[in-house]
Amino acid sequence: MDRIECQWCKAQNEPARTSCQTCGAPLDKKNLVSDSGWAEAPRLRDMTEFRFSNSTCQIEGEIVPVAELALAPGDAVFFEHHVMLWKEPQVPMSAMNTGGGMKRTIGGMPHVISLAHGPGRIALSRDATGEVVVLPLHPGHELDVREHAFLAGTHSISYSFVRIKGLANVLHGGSGMYMDRFITNREPGLLLLHGYGNVFQKTLQPGEKVMVEPGGFLYKDSSVTMNTFQQNLRTGMFRHGMYLAEMTGPGRVGIQSMYVHHGSE
């Protein structure tokens, strides 16, 4: 029997399905790709449901979407505690020790990452107009995400954080000092991000470069290198510097269309 491949996450689906059971992307709509190769993140239909492990996730709303997770016994998700919208009373909560407390304080990152365990329901949402981006991670995958952009990760994903290399990148990159790093080991995992505005993704070939406004950077495969590029501009006697993030492939890069501009003087 023919199966339908999801254009976003490449998972195989039964022919009768209208949305991907792994990431929720509509299967009956064409992937929207711009002339230069940026693909729009799939706009998840209201009440779209998809599965991870033995649990389900339902996306509700479109302007500031809510991810409602029905956790099965033995499953858990982690998140920054302020994204919790509501939960059922019986859902047990615990804290994940992230390590590096002093570094996280300096980097303005939360000390405590909350863990919600099944069984029960919990709902998460961020604080501004945007899209929930669902990224299923295959075993052995590494993904770097802009700090404060992740909504939730499933228990099979290892969470850590990496310092952005290079002083120029930290000072002018506009992405902060640290990036969240998500790694899967032997099991697949599911990562939910919240991108402000609309989210676009491009897959870079080895050596291919694209310049991105640092505030617009959302996520990248760890194989993509990120460096700060200074664009010098002159107006009469005055010199101005503007900083862009230079992304070099291979791998995926995700950007958000609403951002705070950083790094010009």
Contact region for other proteins (CB under 8 A) — 50-58, 98-106, 123-131, 183-191? 123-131
Contact region for other proteins (CB under 8 A) — 44-52, 132-140, 194-202, 218-226? 194-202
Which CB, 114 or 201, lies closer to other proteins? 201
C-alpha to C-alpha distance for 134 and 22, rounded to whole angstroms: 9
103's tokens = 């570094």
C-alpha to C-alpha distance for 228 and 230, rounded to whole angstroms: 7
By residue count, the chain amounts to 265
Least distance in angstroms from the C-beta of 213 to other proteins: 5
C-alpha to C-alpha distance for 95 and 113, rounded to whole angstroms: 6
**Is residue 259 involved in binding other proteins (CB under 8 A)?**
yes
Alpha carbon of residue 23 to chain centroid:
13
Which CB, 41 or 177, lies closer to other proteins? 41
**Is residue 129 involved in binding other proteins (CB under 8 A)?**
yes
- Contact by Cβ (8 Å): 25, 127: no
**Is residue 200 involved in binding other proteins (CB under 8 A)?**
yes
Q: Give me the residue label for tokens 């993904």.
A: 143
Q: Interface mask (CB under 8 A) for other proteins, residues 17-56, using x and -?
A: ---------------x-xxx-x-x--x-------------
Residues in contact with other proteins, total (CB under 8 A)?
36
Taking alpha carbons only, the member of 233, 146, 159, 158 closest to residue 193 is 146
C-alpha to C-alpha distance for 120 and 127, rounded to whole angstroms: 24
Least distance in angstroms from the C-beta of 128 to other proteins: 9
Which residue from 52, 161, 196, 219 is in contact with other proteins, where contact means CB under 8 A? 196
Which residue from 216, 249, 251, 254 is in contact with other proteins, where contact means CB under 8 A? 216
Backbone CA torsion sign across 30, 139, 227, 199:
positive
- Contact by Cβ (8 Å): 179, 162: yes
**Is residue 213 involved in binding other proteins (CB under 8 A)?**
yes
Contact region for other proteins (CB under 8 A) — 17-25, 45-53, 177-185, 231-239? 231-239
Least distance in angstroms from the C-beta of 177 to other proteins: 22
- Contact by Cβ (8 Å): 194, 133: yes
C-alpha to C-alpha distance for 178 and 146, rounded to whole angstroms: 8
Residues 133-162 that bind other proteins (CB under 8 A): none
C-alpha to C-alpha distance for 262 and 251, rounded to whole angstroms: 24
Residues that bind other proteins in the complex, under the rule CB under 8 A: 32, 34-36, 38, 40, 43, 63, 129-131, 196-198, 200, 209-213, 216, 231, 233-236, 240, 242, 244, 255, 257-261, 264
